[in-house]
């Protein structure tokens, strides 16, 4: 179950590599559509530090506010992967990190080490697959899964944490500005989902792809 969070953002605490602490407070339900998207600058959705899966120049962008320890994120990922496979040239996934559970910040550090080593997607899939083994905050299973997926653990654990902590803080601030209420939260070309669920996500992506392919149609 996702942790709930909302508008009060506390400081991100540096306590060693991949172990930043985050505290959020809320009375909002995770996964509800964000309401503020229309009133914010476009660059808030994709920051220079944001991980991207798919073509960087794809005309349709799915932005997912994501917590690797979130059970709903794990449940959604097969649908997201299917969408990317259905539109390999037209759609890209941009990941924004929200560390809302015990161990989430460390898991995000693992993902960033994997990105630096060029194995982000296989390591992310391995972490999600093994999530029940480390969801309680015992990160041994997460590291084991990452190693099996190709992560060099020595290099990963030596990776400085300051940049990762700053990235998470930026993503949390943007989530707060956008009115994001939990993970996963999706935006498609800057538009929040009209309805939460895999089918509405697919339908909204399909509509955006068709609009890009047929710009003159009303």
Give domain limits for the chain. Answer: 8-212
DSSP labels, 9-77: EPPPBP-STT--B--EE-SS-TTPPPS-GGGS-GGGTS-TT--EES-TT-SEEEEEEE-TT-HHHHHHH
Give the pair of three-digit tokens for residue 76: 């959604």
For 11-44, what is each residue's pLDDT tens digit? 343 333 344 333 332 323 345 455 455 567 778 9
Mean pLDDT of the chain: 85
> Which pLDDT score is estimated for 38?
56
DSSP labels, 64-119: EEE-TT-HHHHHHHHHHHHHHHHSTTTEEEEEEE---STTHHHHHHHHHHHHHTT-
Asked if 127 contacts 67 with a C-beta cutoff of 8 angstroms, the reply is no
Which 8-state DSSP code applies to residue 161?
S
The SS3 assignment for 191 reads: strand
Cα–Cα distance for residue pair 164/49, rounded to 1 Å? 9
Average pLDDT over residues 188-193: 96
Which 8-state DSSP code applies to residue 195?
S
User: What CATH architecture applies to the domain 8-212?
Assistant: 3-Layer(aba) Sandwich (3.40)
pLDDT band (50, 70, 90) for residue 9: very low
The SS3 assignment for 180 reads: coil
pLDDT higher than 70, residue 136 = yes
- β-pair partners for 188: 62, 191
More confident residue, 110 or 136: 110
| Residue 203, burial from CB neighbour count under 10 angstroms (0-12, 13-18, 19+) | middle
Give the pair of three-digit tokens for residue 199: 């089918």
pLDDT band (50, 70, 90) for residue 214: confident
For 103-125, what is each residue's pLDDT tens digit? 999 999 999 999 999 999 999 99
pLDDT higher than 90, residue 64 = yes
């Amino acid at each position: 179950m996702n942790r709930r969070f909302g508008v009060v953002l506390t400081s991100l605490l540096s306590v060693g590599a991949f172990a930043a602490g985050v505290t959020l407070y809320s009375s909002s339900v995770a996964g509800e559509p964000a309401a503020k998207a229309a009133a914010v600058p476009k660059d808030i959705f994709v920051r220079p530090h944001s991980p991207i899966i798919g073509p960087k120049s794809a005309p349709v962008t799915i932005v997912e506010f994501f917590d690797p320890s979130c059970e709903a994120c794990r449940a959604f990922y097969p649908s997201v992967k299917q969408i990317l496979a259905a539109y390999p040239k037209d759609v890209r996934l941009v990941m924004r990190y929200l560390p809302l559970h015990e161990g989430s910040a460390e898991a995000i550090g693992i993902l960033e080490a994997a990105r630096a080593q060029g194995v982000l997607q296989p390591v992310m899939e391995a972490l999600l697959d093994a999530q029940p083994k480390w969801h309680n905050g015992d990160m041994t299973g997460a590291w084991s899964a990452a190693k099996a997926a190709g992560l060099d653990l020595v290099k990963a654990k030596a990776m400085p944490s300051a940049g990762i902590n700053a990235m998470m803080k930026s993503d949390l601030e943007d989530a707060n500005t956008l009115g994001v209420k939990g993970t996963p939260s999706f935006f498609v070309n800057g538009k929040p989902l009209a309805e939460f669920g895999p089918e509405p996500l697919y339908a909204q992506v399909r509509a955006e792809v068709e609009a890009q392919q047929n710009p003159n149609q009303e």
